[in-house]
Amino acid sequence: MNLIKWDRSDPLTSLTHIQREMGDLLDILSSTPKIEGYVNVEFPPIIVSINEESVFVRAELPGIRISELDVRVVDDVLTIRGERKAAVTDAKITYLRRERNYGTFARSIMLPEKVDVEKVTASYKNGVLTVTLPKAAEAKPKQVVIQKA
């Protein structure tokens, strides 16, 4: 890391530099070691959305077969586990750049609502896993009828 002299005459430039450095530090601290000692962001990347009826979780899992996935809901936690297997080649290969990791992974997500575990479904298309988690009856909003006294 290079030290940069603080230019007191330009506080905006200095502030921008400090914010960038702090952002880089937070990125490093929030990254977790993953497969084979590489450091990267959470895998798989997910999108969690919700409507009145269900919670939806979409996970990007390119190159992973359905048979290599395990999806479970326990209490209020959805866990996606799997394994991405490396391509086996006969030739000895030296990697010049390798941004795609191989091995086992697991990602657990605390669900924002109680769900009906018996009605959870999952589909997998074009490397995207979509898990639909219908809300439990007690989690759905209810219209209360006001009685005339």
Q: What is the pTM of this model?
A: 0.64
Residue 88 carries which DSSP code?
P
Paired with 48 in beta bridges are: 57
CA angle in degrees (0–180, nearest 5) for 46-50-55? 75
Residue 21 has pLDDT above 70, yes or no: yes
Where in 2-149 does DSSP place strands (E)? 32-33, 39-40, 46-50, 54-60, 69-74, 77-84, 103-110, 121-125, 128-134
Residue 25 has pLDDT above 60, yes or no: yes
Query: Which residue stretches of the chain are H helix?
Result: 11-30
CATH of domain 45-137: 2.60.40.790
Average pLDDT over residues 32-52: 70
Instruction: Work out the percent of the chain whose per-residue pLDDT is above 70.
Output: 72
Instruction: Work out the percent of the chain whose per-residue pLDDT is above 90.
Output: 39
Q: What confidence score (pLDDT) does residue 27 get? A: 63
Q: Between 139 and 108, where is the model more confident?
A: 108
Q: Residue 4: which pLDDT band, with cuts at 50, 70 and 90?
A: low
Residue 63 has pLDDT above 80, yes or no: yes
pLDDT tens digits, 99-130 = 777 788 999 999 998 999 999 999 999 999 99
Do 30 and 24 meet the contact criterion of CB atoms below 8 Å apart? no
Q: What confidence score (pLDDT) does residue 39 get? A: 44
Q: What confidence score (pLDDT) does residue 89 get? A: 67
Task: Indicate the pairing of strand 69-74 with strand 39-40.
Answer: unpaired
**Separation CA 28–CA 8 (nearest Å):** 28
Domain boundaries of the chain, sorted by first residue: 11-41, 45-137
**Separation CA 138–CA 11 (nearest Å):** 54
Q: What confidence score (pLDDT) does residue 12 get? A: 54
